[in-house]
Amino acid sequence: MEKTLLLLKPSAIQRGLIGEIISRIEKKGLRLVGIKMMQLNDDILNEHYAHLQHKPFFQNIKNSMMATPIVATCWEGVGAVEVIRLMTGVTNSRLALPGTIRGDFSMSVTENIVHTSDSPKTAITEIKRFFKDEELFDYEMASLGYLYAKDEFNP
Ligand code: UDP
Ligand code: MG
The pLDDT value given to residue 78: 97
| Ligand 1 contacts CB of residue 127 (under 6 A) | no
Atom of ligand 1 nearest to the CA of 118: 23
Tell me the Cα Rg of the chain.
Answer: 15
Ligand 1: residue whose CA is nearest its atom 18 = 91
CATH tag, 2-135: 3.30.70.141
Provide the residues around ligand 2 (an ion) whose CB is within 5 A.
118
Give residue 153's pLDDT: 81
pLDDT along the chain (155 residues), means of 10: 98 98 98 98 98 97 98 98 98 98 98 98 98 97 93 78
Q: Taking a C-beta distance cutoff of 8 angstroms, is the pair 113, 64 a contact? A: no
How much is the pLDDT for 47? Answer: 98
Ligand 1 midpoint to CA 86 (Å): 15
DSSP character for 97? P
Q: Closest Cα partner for 6 from 66, 74, 76, 92? A: 74
The question of whether 54 is a catalytic residue gets the answer no
Question: What is the model's pLDDT at position 155?
Answer: 55
What count of other Cβ atoms lies within 10 Å of the Cβ of residue 90?
15
Nearest ligand for residue 49 CA: 1
What letter represents residue 24's amino acid?
R
* Pocket flag, ligand 1, residue 112 (CB < 6 Å): yes
What is the whole-number distance in angstroms between the Cα of residue 71 and the centre of ligand 2?
17
pTM of the predicted model as reported, rounded to 2 decimal places: 0.97
| Residue ranges of domains in the chain | 2-135
Site to probe by mutation for ligand 1, drawn from 4, 111, 112 as the one with most ligand atoms within 8 Å of Cβ, is 112
Q: Is the dihedral of CA 71, 75, 80, 83 positive or negative?
A: negative
Q: Which residues have a Cβ under 8 Å from the Cβ of 6 and sit 6 or more positions away?
A: 21, 25, 72, 73, 74, 75, 84, 88, 114, 115, 116, 117
Cα(76) to ligand 1 centroid in Å equals 23
